[in-house]
Structure 1
């Protein structure tokens, strides 16, 4: 636990939070600044700063809990879809430095005001894809 971390406080019960699911490894609770009605955050109970820091077992458990939450958002709230988002680092919009997944229900009606931050369907330069892809493939091999 990190005493300065609000998510660690929610897990410990010393900070307020509306928990919707919990197991030995993870906890899911309502986001206090929801993007849409039903927006849930899923965290590992063990503090990890971000995606680059979290142990693989905690990451797997967090993802499984996020999937359970997503099903409930569709089945119970009637969401038309679900976005799963992780922000890793301040420049990637991370504001709480405890790994978490946003499980955000999406609706076809006025409850949903989210828009994409980029335009899908605009193809990248083929040579750039090959160059960057090659560098990544080399780094990952």
Structure 2
């Protein structure tokens, strides 16, 4: 059996009605001053639909020619399907483990930058003059 809900009473509602009405009227007046957004009235006025075209019957051969993509030439037993899913799951776990291992390896390798390496990476004045000239 359903629960019995108690009726909620809203006290002092009548005192606030006058203030709400005046506030609502002021909002309506403010909305009248704003430009109206683009309205889509008469969107399909130019479209003429012929009722005879709506009752056209389709050929039954159309739906027969559709071949399901799930049909397979060979039957795969349930154990083999389970094994394939398990192998895919293990492969996914291995890739996650390999990425974590690679991240740890990158953290361990200290990146040492010095001004010599940065200077070697920048182009020399000779190269810059050849490019500009």
What TM-score comes out, normalization by structure 2 length? 0.20
Larger radius of gyration: 2
Structure number with higher strand proportion: 1
What TM-score comes out, normalization by structure 1 length? 0.19
Structure number with higher helix proportion: 2
